[in-house]
C-alpha cells in the first residue's frame, strides 16, 4: 500500500475526529487492511504522527532561492502567511506539532530556508535560532486557534455588543475601544507578525 495513501488517510482521521482518534487499529480499519501493513512503514504511532506532521509542511510550497532574494523580513512574512493558511486547514493535526519539534524532510527544508535568510542578513547564529523558534511558535499558535475562533456561544457581533454595553464608569478604556473589538483573528495575526518582525529588526541592529 502506498505510503502517501496511508499518511493522507491518517491526516483525514485527525481532521475529522481529532488527534486522539488516530491509532494503528483505527487507521487500518479506515484503509481496509491489517495493522501489519502499517507496521511495515512505521515502528509505532509516534513515527506515524511524525509523517502526518511533515505532510502538512509539504503543503507549504516555497522557493528557497526566491525567499533569500527578497530579504529576511519579506521571507519570514511570506512563510508566516503561507504556513498559517496551510496549518489552519488542519487545526487538529497542527496540535500534534506542539508535542515535539518537527524534524521531517519538509519541516527541515522550510527551517533551512528561513534560517538561511536570517544568517544571510547578518543575524548571529544564536539570534537566528531564537528568532526562528519564536516565529514558528507564533504561527503555530494562531493556526491552532483559527478554526475555533468565534466557535463559542457568541458570534463576533454579539461579543462586540457586550463590550459596548459594559459600564463606562467601571471599564472606560474597554468602552473606548469597543467599536473595534473583537479583532478578527486574521488581522490580529498580521498585526502581531509585524510587531515580531520589527522587534527582530531592532535586535539585529543591536547585535
List the domain boundaries for the chain: 3-150
Contact 187, 194 (CB under 8 A): no
Say which CATH class 3-150 falls into.
Answer: mainly alpha
- pLDDT at position 5 is 92
Q: What is the pLDDT of residues 25-50, one digit of tens each?
A: 999 999 998 899 899 899 998 899 99
Contact 8, 54 (CB under 8 A): no
Dist. CA 132–CA 176, nearest whole Å? 36
- pLDDT at position 191 is 96
Q: Is the pLDDT of residue 3 over 50?
A: yes
The full DSSP string for 100-111 is: S---SHHHHHHH
Contact 5, 38 (CB under 8 A): no
Contact 141, 88 (CB under 8 A): no
Dist. CA 3–CA 27, nearest whole Å? 13
Q: Is the pLDDT of residue 184 over 50?
A: yes
Q: What is the pLDDT of residues 20-29, one digit of tens each?
A: 899 999 999 9
Q: What is the b/e burial string over 37-59, where b = at least 16 CB atoms within 10 angstroms of the residue's CB?
A: ebeeebeeeeebbbbbbbbbbee
Show the cell assigned to 17: 475526529
Single pTM value for the model: 0.80
Dist. CA 42–CA 37, nearest whole Å? 9
Amino acid at each position: 500500500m502506498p505510503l502517501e495513501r496511508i499518511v493522507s488517510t491518517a491526516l483525514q482521521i485527525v481532521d475529522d475526529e481529532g488527534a486522539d482518534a488516530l491509532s494503528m487499529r483505527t487507521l487500518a480499519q479506515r484503509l481496509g487492511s491489517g495493522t501489519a501493513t502499517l507496521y511495515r512503514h512505521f515502528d509505532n504511532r509516534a513515527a506515524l504522527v511524525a509523517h502526518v506532521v511533515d505532510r502538512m509542511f509539504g503543503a507549504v510550497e516555497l522557493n528557497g532561492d526566491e525567499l533569500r532574494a527578497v530579504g529576511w523580513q519579506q521571507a519570514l512574512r511570506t512563510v508566516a502567511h503561507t504556513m498559517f493558511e496551510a496549518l489552519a486547514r488542519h487545526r487538529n493535526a497542527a496540535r500534534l506539532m506542539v508535542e515535539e519539534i518537527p524534524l521531517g524532510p519538509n519541516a527541515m527544508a522550510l527551517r533551512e530556508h528561513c534560517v538561511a535568510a536570517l544568517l544571510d542578513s547578518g543575524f548571529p547564529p544564536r539570534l537566528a535560532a531564537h528568532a526562528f523558534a519564536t516565529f514558528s511558535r507564533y504561527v503555530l499558535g494562531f493556526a491552532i486557534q483559527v478554526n475555533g475562533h468565534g466557535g463559542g456561544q457568541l458570534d463576533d457581533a454579539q461579543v462586540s455588543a457586550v463590550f459596548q454595553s459594559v459600564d463606562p464608569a467601571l471599564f472606560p478604556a474597554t468602552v473606548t475601544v469597543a467599536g473595534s473589538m473583537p479583532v478578527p483573528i486574521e488581522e490580529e495575526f498580521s498585526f502581531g507578525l509585524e510587531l515580531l518582525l520589527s522587534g527582530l529588526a531592532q535586535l539585529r541592529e543591536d547585535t
